[in-house]
Structure 1
Amino acid sequence: MTREQYILATQQNNLRTETAQFYPVGIYGWRKRCLYFFVLLLLVTMIVNLAMTIWILKVMNFTVDGMGNLRVTKNGIRLEGVSEFLLPLYVKEIHSRKDSPLVLQSDRNVTVNARNQNGHLTGQMVVGANAVEAQCKRFEVKSNEDGKMLFAADEDEITIGADRLRVTGTEGAVFGHSVETPHIRAGPSQDLRLESPTRSLTMEAPKGVQISAVAGEFKASCRKELHLQSTDGEIFLDADNIRLGNLPQGSFTPSSPNSVGPRQTVYELCVCPNGKLYLSPAGSSSTCQSSSNICLWS
C-alpha cells in the first residue's frame, strides 16, 4: 500500500467516526413536566365527573323503573307526590290513585284546552280566582252512577235533567224572560211566592193553568187590576165560603118606606153593565139599579 492510499483510508475512517454520533430519544425538561401536569389534570377531572354522576344518580333517585317521583309502568307514567311542569304537558289521560284525589294547582289559573287535528281550539275550560269559564259548543254535567244528564247548556237552551231544582237564596230565582215548566212547588213547610215587583205577572198554558194549595191558602194581590179571563170556558169558584171584601155600597131609594128596615144587615150583590160589583140593601125584590151612583161614577 502506498503512502497516498494509507492517508486516504485513514481520513475515511476518521470521517465515519465523527458522523456516528448518538442523540437522546424521548421528552425531557419542561415538556415532560407539562405532559405530566395535563395527564394529572385529566385524571382529576374524570374522578370529579364520576363523583358528580354518582351524586346526581343518588339525589335524583334513578332506578330501573324511573327517577325520583317518576315511575314508568306498563300502563304509562306514574308520579308520586307533588310535581311541577314548566312547559306544556301533552297526555291522553290523567287520573289519580284510587285512595287519593287529583289536584291541579296554579298560582294564577288552570286552563284545559281541547284541539282538533288541525290544531284549532274546540273547547276550553279556565279555572280562575274569580270565576270558572267554559267555552265549547255544548256543556254537559252527568251523574256518576248511571250517566244521567243533570245539566246541559248550548247556544239555544239550557236543560236541567235533575229531578228537583232547589234555589236556596233569600232573593229566590230571577228570570229575565219567559220560563217554561210543568210544575212549580215550594219546599215542605214553606210558602210558594211568584212576584213581579215592577211589571205584570202572566201565566199561560194551552190546556189550562192549575193552582192549588193543599194545606194553606192561595192569595193573589196586585196594585191595579186583576184579570181573570176565559175565552172559551167559564170561571168556576168552588168553595164553602166565597167572600168579596171592600166592595162599595150603592144607594137605593125604596118605593115604599116600609120595604127596608132601619137596621139593614143583608145586602144584595149587584153587577154594573161595565162589570163592576157593588152591594145594595136586600129587599123583597132586587134592588140592583143600573143607574146607581157606583155604576155612573165608575
Structure 2
Amino acid sequence: MMPQEQYAHRSTLSGSEGPHVYKVGIYGWRKRCLYFFVLLLMILILVNLAMTIWILKVMNFTIDGMGNLRITEKGLRLEGDSEFLKPLYAKEIRSRPGSPLYLQSDRNITLNILNEDMKPVTQLVTASDGIRARGNNLEVVSNKGKLLFSANDKEVVVGADRLRVLGAEGAVFPASLETPYVKAEPFHHLRLESPTRTLTMEAPKGIEINAEAGGLEASCRTDLRLDSTDGEIQLKAANVKLPQLPRGSYSPSAPRQNVFEICVCASGKLFLSQAGSESTCQANNNICL
C-alpha cells in the first residue's frame, strides 16, 4: 500500500477558516493497472533471463569461445563443419595437423588476390564446368623446388623429365615443335605424321633417327627426297633392296638400248651405267674415286 499523505490547507477564499484535508495517492483502477504492469515486467524479465540461459546452453558459450569456435593464442579454431554466409577475410587458413582441409560450396569457390586498388590480379575459380585460373604466370613446383610446369603469355615450359601424352590420337601441334628428344613408350611405336601437309625436320647439327629393336619406315604419297648440300647420304645395312624399280626392255633391232645397270662402289656409292651384254660397272670405275 502506498502511503497516504495528508496536510491541512487553510482556505482564504471562503469566509470560514476551517482546515481542509486532501488525500494524495493512487486508488482504484489506476492502482490495479500499475500492479498489472509491474507483474508483466517481472514475467518478461524472467522469460528473457530463461531465454538467455537457454541460448548460452545451446550455443555452448564458454570463456574460450562458442560452439565449434574456439579462441586460442594463434587465432580462431573451428572444429567440425562450418558455414560462412558472407565473405571470409583471413591471413591464413589451415587444418589441424594430420587432418585434411575441405572447402565445399553449392555453386563455385573463388579465390581472389587483390592489388592496392582492390582489383583482382590473380584469380582461381572452381566451378561445376571446370577450373579456371587467371594471372600473369602459372607455375607448378615439386617438393624439391624443381619447376614442373610454367605458362605465361610468351611460352609454356614443361620441366619434368618426361612428357607423356596418353591420348589415342597422340599430340597435335598446329605450329612448329622444338624439342631435343622424341621417344615412344617401351613396346610402343613412334609415329610422326602429317596427314594433309608436309613434315619437315630441321637441325643445325644433324638429325638422328634410331630404332634399336625394330624397323624404320618412311612413306609418302608423292616424292621422298633425301638432300645433302655439303655432306653424304649413307645407307649402312647388310642388304639394300630396291624392289620396285622399273625394268627396261631389250630389243636386238634397236641401235641403242634404254637399259641401265645399277652399280655400287666399294665405299657404298651407287651410280647408273649403260647396260651392255656384260656388266659395264668396271668401265665407270673412275666414278668411285
Please report how far the alpha carbon of residue 281 of structure 1 lies from its aligned counterpart in structure 2 after TM superposition.
Answer: 6.7
Is the 8 Å Cα contact of residues 109 and 129 (structure 1) preserved in structure 2? yes
* SS of equivalent to 1:22: strand
Please report how far the alpha carbon of residue 48 of structure 1 lies from its aligned counterpart in structure 2 after TM superposition.
Answer: 0.9
Please report how far the alpha carbon of residue 210 of structure 1 lies from its aligned counterpart in structure 2 after TM superposition.
Answer: 0.7
- Name the larger-Rg structure: 1
* SS of equivalent to 2:21: coil
Is the 8 Å Cα contact of residues 108 and 128 (structure 1) preserved in structure 2? yes
Is the 8 Å Cα contact of residues 247 and 278 (structure 1) preserved in structure 2? no
Quote the RMSD (CA, aligned, Å).
2.5
Aligned length: 256
Q: What CA distance in whole angstroms lies between the structure 2 residues aligned with 1:95 and 1:237?
A: 65
Q: Does 1:116 pair with 2:110?
A: no
Assess, with a 3 A threshold, how the Cα gap between structure 1 residues 51 and 157 changes in structure 2: closer, same or farther. Answer: same
Q: What CA distance in whole angstroms lies between the structure 2 residues aligned with 1:179 and 1:285?
A: 49
Please report how far the alpha carbon of residue 24 of structure 1 lies from its aligned counterpart in structure 2 after TM superposition.
Answer: 2.7
Please report how far the alpha carbon of residue 97 of structure 1 lies from its aligned counterpart in structure 2 after TM superposition.
Answer: 2.0
Q: What CA distance in whole angstroms lies between the structure 2 residues aligned with 1:51 and 1:118?
A: 49
Please report how far the alpha carbon of residue 22 of structure 1 lies from its aligned counterpart in structure 2 after TM superposition.
Answer: 3.0
Q: What CA distance in whole angstroms lies between the structure 2 residues aligned with 1:158 and 1:91?
A: 33
Please report how far the alpha carbon of residue 284 of structure 1 lies from its aligned counterpart in structure 2 after TM superposition.
Answer: 1.8
Q: What CA distance in whole angstroms lies between the structure 1 residues aligned with 2:198 and 2:97?
A: 55
1:23 counterpart residue number: 22
Larger strand share, 1 or 2:
2
Is the 8 Å Cα contact of residues 252 and 281 (structure 1) preserved in structure 2? no
* SS of equivalent to 2:33: helix
Q: What CA distance in whole angstroms lies between the structure 2 residues aligned with 1:234 and 1:255?
A: 41
1:44 counterpart residue number: 43
Please report how far the alpha carbon of residue 253 of structure 1 lies from its aligned counterpart in structure 2 after TM superposition.
Answer: 4.4
In the alignment, residue 250 of structure 1 is paired with which amino acid? G
Q: Does 1:177 pair with 2:175?
A: yes
Unaligned stretches of 5+ in structure 1? Answer: 1-13, 257-266, 272-276, 288-298
Q: What CA distance in whole angstroms lies between the structure 2 residues aligned with 1:108 and 1:169?
A: 31
1:151 counterpart residue number: 149
Q: Which has the higher contact order (CA 8 A, sep 6+)?
A: 1
Q: What CA distance in whole angstroms lies between the structure 2 residues aligned with 1:134 and 1:252?
A: 75
1:62 counterpart residue number: 61
2:278 pairs with one of 264, 269, 284: 284
Please report how far the alpha carbon of residue 283 of structure 1 lies from its aligned counterpart in structure 2 after TM superposition.
Answer: 4.6
Is the 8 Å Cα contact of residues 136 and 152 (structure 2) preserved in structure 1? yes
Assess, with a 3 A threshold, how the Cα gap between structure 1 residues 138 and 254 changes in structure 2: closer, same or farther. Answer: farther
Unaligned stretches of 5+ in structure 2? Answer: 1-14, 255-259, 265-270, 282-289
Please report how far the alpha carbon of residue 218 of structure 1 lies from its aligned counterpart in structure 2 after TM superposition.
Answer: 0.8
Q: 1:223-266 CA deviation, whole Å, 9 max, x = no partner?
A: 1111211122111111111122211112344699xxxxxxxxxx
2:203 counterpart residue number: 205
In the alignment, residue 182 of structure 2 is paired with which amino acid? I
2:261 pairs with one of 261, 264, 268: 268
Is the 8 Å Cα contact of residues 111 and 123 (structure 2) preserved in structure 1? yes
Q: What CA distance in whole angstroms lies between the structure 2 residues aligned with 1:219 and 1:141?
A: 38
In the alignment, residue 285 of structure 1 is paired with which amino acid? S
In the alignment, residue 162 of structure 2 is paired with which amino acid? R
Assess, with a 3 A threshold, how the Cα gap between structure 1 residues 139 and 126 changes in structure 2: closer, same or farther. Answer: same
In the alignment, residue 44 of structure 1 is paired with which amino acid? I
Q: What CA distance in whole angstroms lies between the structure 1 residues aligned with 2:273 and 2:133?
A: 63
Larger helix share, 1 or 2:
1
Assess, with a 3 A threshold, how the Cα gap between structure 1 residues 176 and 22 changes in structure 2: closer, same or farther. Answer: same
When normalised by structure 1's length, the TM-score is: 0.79
Q: What CA distance in whole angstroms lies between the structure 2 residues aligned with 1:92 and 1:68?
A: 22
Q: What CA distance in whole angstroms lies between the structure 2 residues aligned with 1:209 and 1:28?
A: 118
When normalised by structure 2's length, the TM-score is: 0.82
Is the 8 Å Cα contact of residues 71 and 77 (structure 1) preserved in structure 2? yes
